[in-house]
Structure 1
Amino acid sequence: MVQKPGVRHYFAEGVTNRGYISFLPNMMSEWERTYVLMGGPGTGKSTMIKMIGLEILDRGYEVDFMRSARDPDSMAGFNVRNNNLAMLDQYEVAPLRWRAPGIIEHFVDFTPFCDTQKLEHQRERILGLENEEKKLQQEIGVRLAEEFGEKARGKRTIEPEPQGRSWLKNIYLSIDQDEEKDGPWSKVQGALRQLQKSKVTSFFLHGLDSEGWLNFAPHYLTDYDQIRLEGKETSDAMDWVLKEAEQLGQVIDIVLHPLYPEVIIGIIFPQRNLAIWQGSPEQLTDQGLDRPFSEELKSSLIKFQDARQLLKSIYMEVNDFSRVDQLRDELLTKILRDLEGLK
């Protein structure tokens, strides 16, 4: 992956052994304009996100690309840093509650670019593949919990704070929180309450792939000065840094463990161009992610990707991409006007 100046790649959502977790609701609270692309897989939404994001980047803006947690090769959206404008693929992200539909969020429907009559003939097949995707995603979550159920040792964990202000009501979870009040999820709640105290962006830099974990950390941290912590006192040191930064009102990016979302593996200070990391960003061993996947987990991941590709192929065969290209030019013009107004 080639890293261009001003661009970052991360996962705003993750398939963890605690369930499917999305940090998008918390991020969206800062956005003033959000373009939401609607339509089936394979209709050109991810490509549009990538191309418009790169066009904006070439005009001097800083852009964060959000990869799909379900399909790391696809773009789930982008966010123009410091300008509070974003674009999301509704199909690639968890269900979200929109604040002011049609006013703050602008919905763009790709369905008119498809031959709906041909799609109707494929209705049963489409529904069958979508159901298969849902079942496989649940299966993947179960297998992750079975294979990686032990809590990572030696990693920085934020302790719960009773009086903390929680934004859990704005986060999408695929598990019932009430079922596990005294279990691991209560620790996640405590972590998120603590993070709410400062201007913090939380995300993942590792994505789930059939061949193992995709690691975006080395690319993400390329331009940052790095302090790499090792040894028994690492957790205490991270704890001290985080508390001091909160008291000083710093802008903080928190990188969470892709399996254990209550565990912090990196603290980044964008304004200071500084990153503090547990171990080496290049070494998955330091994050406890070097354990190979079982053949069963690999099989579930491959089946999931196969179902997605079949769904995409159905939509691609009936889509008019010349109209999609025309729409891209129109959206880019509108977004650039928005960005000028948001300065």
Structure 2
Amino acid sequence: MGKKGSIRRVYPGGNTYKGFYSYYNYILDQKSAKRIIVIKGGPGVGKSSFMKGLGEAMVEKGYDVEYHHCSSDNNSIDGVVFSQVGVALIDGTAPHVVDPKNPGAVDEIIHLGDYWDEDKMMKNKESIIKDNKEVGRLFRRAYGYLAAAKGAYDNISKNIKEATDYAKVNKIIGELANEIFDDLNYSDSLGKERHLFGSAVTPDGIKDYLETLIEPNEKVFVLKGEYNFGQSEIVEKIGKLAIDKGYNVEFFHNHFIPEKVDNIVIKDIKVAVTTSNKFDNGKNKVFNIDLCLNEELLKEREEEFKLDREKFEELMDLAIKNISRAKKIHDHMETYYIPNMDFEAIDFLRENTLERILYWVEEK
């Protein structure tokens, strides 16, 4: 048996203070794609298992696989990408509705609803509608709590900004840029950017798979700070500078504030910049952002920080509890679908799809 392919794990969408936020457009670029297969169907019809099965088969055959996890069910996936082949499969159902952009030329649809017993499904109509309504209600509650948590977050952020010496921050940006780009020239064209979530607010709390995104052979720079404010601006500036120099950059956004960037990976030069303490391991270079803060002002407002943090954590916890409740209802809704599916036929379809993907490998 040959060498297995590598596995990366990301989140294409997230439960944020803005509600459900999607970076699904960045799963695979239409121009570079050989095929994008959009999978439709209800809960429990086997969309995630279908994609996982293909991913496992491709890894065994030596191809790299990128799993796109569902933020509302961490054990489920919403997409899988085989970048070496230029093929992606994406769950196209709500809340992240995806439809073909270039049907036939790039995209196609696989509808797993073709494999359910419609007569039996109709008997569960009222129960399915009831469960669906309750899932929607619980997510609205969760997003309400996340929006409220943003207020506490903003209070902390304002105090941190007032305490920040931006001359020191700019010095760190300069040092970091010199370390990364010192011997590198500008390219004739701009680099490409890709945006995804590196972490997510899930029914099990805040989860990430950063260890699958930042590879052992990459040079890693860690932006460390107790308050975890301000680092994202530095990360984003370094990412934009890399794009200006012609390098492709992956931006991994914050699970709570989707406009914030927590991590970047510049594969072309094997460099990563992160705000995660996971990588403060004694091997990687660390920049301590807390050294840019006015300690006196922070001490003066210590009680405010404590109160705002408590409120923030309380509201985040309430949001997670409601997302967890929604998942339980969603799991219950699956029980109306699972017994009424022809999974044997779906398995055959998956094997046929694998054969098509391997055919595209040969074409490439």
TM-score (norm 2): 0.73
Partner of residue 359 from structure 2, selected from 334, 337, 342: 337
Partners of 1:148 and 1:27 lie apart in 2 by 27
Structure 1 residue 273 and structure 2 residue 295: aligned? no
For 1:138-217, list aligned pairs within 5 A: 138-149=140-151, 150-151=153-154, 153=157, 198-217=191-210
Q: Say which SS state the counterpart of residue 74 (structure 2) adopts.
A: coil
Match of 1:9 in 2: 9
Partner of residue 91 from structure 2, selected from 78, 81, 89: 89
Q: Say which SS state the counterpart of residue 75 (structure 2) adopts.
A: coil
Q: Say which SS state the counterpart of residue 61 (structure 1) adopts.
A: coil
Offset from partner CA, 1:313-342 (integer Å, 9 cap, x none)? 11101112111111111111011112332x
Partner of residue 99 from structure 1, selected from 88, 98, 101: 101
Structure 1 residue 230 and structure 2 residue 259: aligned? no
Offset from partner CA, 1:74-116 (integer Å, 9 cap, x none)? 0101111243210012226612342123442121121232111
Task: Note closer, same or farther for the CA distance 1:127–1:228 as it changes in structure 2 (3 Å cut).
Answer: same
Work out whether residues 36 and 87 of structure 2, in 8 Å CA contact, stay in contact via their aligned partners in 1.
Answer: yes
Q: Say which SS state the counterpart of residue 72 (structure 2) adopts.
A: coil
Partners of 2:211 and 2:91 lie apart in 1 by 26
Count of matched residue positions in the alignment of Structure 1 and Structure 2: 295
Work out whether residues 5 and 62 of structure 2, in 8 Å CA contact, stay in contact via their aligned partners in 1.
Answer: no
Match of 1:183 in 2: none
AA of the residue aligned to 2:343: F
Match of 2:179 in 1: none
Task: Note closer, same or farther for the CA distance 1:240–1:129 as it changes in structure 2 (3 Å cut).
Answer: closer
Task: Note closer, same or farther for the CA distance 1:146–1:115 as it changes in structure 2 (3 Å cut).
Answer: same
Partners of 1:114 and 1:216 lie apart in 2 by 34
Gaps in structure 1 of 5+ consecutive residues: 156-196
TM-score (norm 1): 0.77
Offset from partner CA, 1:213-254 (integer Å, 9 cap, x none)? 012223432433311123698567535523431222101111
Partners of 2:258 and 2:246 lie apart in 1 by 23
Partners of 1:309 and 1:237 lie apart in 2 by 41
Q: Which moved more, 1:80-89 or 1:114-123?
A: 80-89
Q: Which moved more, 1:78-87 or 1:225-234?
A: 225-234
Structure 1 residue 35 and structure 2 residue 28: aligned? no
Offset from partner CA, 1:27-67 (integer Å, 9 cap, x none)? 44333311122211111110110110121122222221101
Gaps in structure 2 of 5+ consecutive residues: 162-189, 281-288, 290-308
Q: Say which SS state the counterpart of residue 262 (structure 1) adopts.
A: coil
Shift of 1:302: 2.5
Q: Say which SS state the counterpart of residue 71 (structure 2) adopts.
A: coil
Partners of 2:20 and 2:93 lie apart in 1 by 15
Offset from partner CA, 1:200-225 (integer Å, 9 cap, x none)? 11111212223420122234324333
Higher helix share: 2
Work out whether residues 68 and 93 of structure 1, in 8 Å CA contact, stay in contact via their aligned partners in 2.
Answer: no
Work out whether residues 221 and 272 of structure 2, in 8 Å CA contact, stay in contact via their aligned partners in 1.
Answer: yes
